[in-house]
Amino acid sequence: MTADQANSLTGKCALVTGAARRIGAVIAERLHAEGANVAIHYRQSKAEAGEFCARLNAVRADSARLFQADLNVGNELDKLVDSVVEWSGRLDVLVNNASSFYPTPLGQITEESWSDLVGSNLKAPLFLSQAAAPHLQTSHGNIINIVDIHAHRPLRDHSVYGAAKAGLVMLTRSLAKDLAPDVRVNGVAPGAISWPENGMSDSVKQDILSQVPLQRTGAPEDVAGCVVYLARDAGYVTGQIIAVDGGRSLGW
């Protein structure tokens, strides 16, 4: 086997959580374009996930499959991994992308919001990684966690989200040690890529962009490109968090 063949994603299987739309879908589509078979996880976006899956299978037959799971329900995590391996026969890449994001001002934090934000941003990546680990060790695969630049610097009124993402940074580094040498574990920390769907004023957007040396937002493709680099090309990289933020974190 040549070095190029060893690094190729062709015929390998990637599970991307939260892959029906937005950044997750772009990551899955890019991995698919590089030759991987993709397991498209979704929770509620069934119609969008179905259309996306059909589009990928039109390019390459039976190269994508839908998998529904609520990642905040513990026993569904093992079932998700088992179902993916039953379909593909292997697992090479796990991308923990699914995430809840919304403000939790102090005084309004509830047990429900805590469980949701910590569950999707920290607990699910941990237990999915644990379930996937034996398969990834067999394939000498890797885990890529989608973190956030605000894991390192607080975002006002987002204390629960920030704490969960900060935990995911430490989890990434810890798993890189625990799963070495067979499995690499890294993280990608996006900056201003896609504005939140729940709305953000133009003044807030402009304030954010004023802190970005490149003076523009990034695109989901920028994040997907970094994921492909870590999954395919970065054979000697583990335990790292790569910021895809246009330089915004330089001023921190």
Backbone dihedral angles phi then psi of residue 49, each to the nearest 5 degrees: -65, -40
Task: Please identify which of the residues 42, 161, 229, 236 carries the catalytic annotation.
Answer: 161
Contact 227, 31 (CB under 8 A): yes
Angle value at C-alpha 227, between 158 and 43, nearest 5 degrees = 60
d(C-alpha 22, C-alpha 45), whole Å:
11
Q: Rounded to whole angstroms, how far apart are CA atoms 81 and 76? A: 9
Q: How many CA atoms lie within 13 A of 1 on its CB side?
A: 6
Give me the residues paired with residue 145 across strands.
Answer: 96, 187
Residue carrying the six token digits 């119609």: 47
Alpha helices by DSSP H, the chain:
3-7, 22-33, 46-59, 74-88, 111-118, 124-139, 159-178, 202-210, 220-228
Contact 216, 245 (CB under 8 A): no
Beta-bridge mates of residue 41: 67
Q: Is 161 a catalytic residue?
A: yes
Cα separation, 94 vs 63, in Å, equals: 16
Residues designated as active site: 161
